Amino acid sequence: MPIHPTAIVDPKAEIDPAAEIGPYAIVEENARIGAGTRLWPHAFVGRDTRMGEGNEVHPGAAVGHAPQDRNYKRGTRSFLEVGDENVFREGSSIHRGTEEGATTRIGSGCLFMATSHAGHDCRVADGVTFANCALLGGHVSVGNGAILAGGAMVHQFVRIGRLAMIAGGARVRMDVPPFMLTEHDGSVRQLNIIGLQRDPDIPDESVAALKGAFRALYREGLSLRDAIARLEKDFDAPEVVELTEFLKAESKRGIARPPRAGGRGNG
């Protein structure tokens, strides 16, 4: 479908002939729009944004705008890379990196519901769901298939593991390991059992192993170091190995702990 005559497309933008640019949409210089991607009326795609195929940018969404960072200098050339088949609903916003050459990356198959946000330099993997008003600060990483419920707020530099489920309105200040479900204060309440059961690639024996790993990590009063040692000694399921590697990796925020008895977990 041709570019609508009211759309504003910079001459240096690259638009695939199979893309659709709707009325009053804006595409800035050096942006690339892949085949089958649709920009709805009043959508915005910023400079140096590279979008794959089959994406949808709905009215009022801003994909690839300048970062909200005091360290950002006007004129700095930074980037946003977006995979395929993502949906950016009304008012959602994704920002480019801050430093010269820095890149924010969004995988494929993600859903950003209305007014959700991923800040500068984030790394969002495939199949992630952001419910309405879910917010990522800068430099956050999110693993495959994670879900952030409505109004969840994630502090900068936090890591969220694969298939983690973040509670609605949660204040996430510390890293959430793979396969976990959080409380509203960002502490870890339990395994994301429903998410595990729905994943056809995770067998029942791995779910059972993760239950044992969860007990060692969150129910037996072990230090993080001792819990990691227990996981390495007692479990060889691939998902527990993935969990262990996440726990051992460098963390700028620390690992989310269980809720405090009668109180808040990570406050």
* Positions marked active-site: 120-121, 138
| In the block, residue with structure tokens 């500068």 | 120
Which residue shows structure tokens 């900068």?
Answer: 156
Count of Cβ atoms closer than 10 Å to residue 129 Cβ: 18
What are the CA-CA distances from residue 195 to residues 30, 163, 173, 205, 220 (Å)?
39, 7, 22, 15, 24
Helix (H) or strand (E) holding 159: strand 159-160
Q: For residue 14, report the phi and psi dihedrals to the nearest 5 degrees.
A: -110, 115
- Residue 38: how many CB atoms within 10 A of its CB? 18
Q: Is 48:32 a contact under the CB 8 Å cutoff?
A: no
Kindly state the DSSP code that residue 249 receives in the 8-state scheme.
S
Pairing of strands 188-191, 180-182: antiparallel
Query: 68: burial class by Cβ within 10 Å (0-12, 13-18, 19+)?
Result: middle
β-pairing, 165-166 vs 147-148, is parallel
Give the whole-angstrom CA distance, residue 166 versus residue 145. Answer: 12
Dihedral sign from CA coordinates of 18, 21, 43, 132? negative
Distance CA 144, CA 125 (A): 5
d(CA 203, CA 196): 9
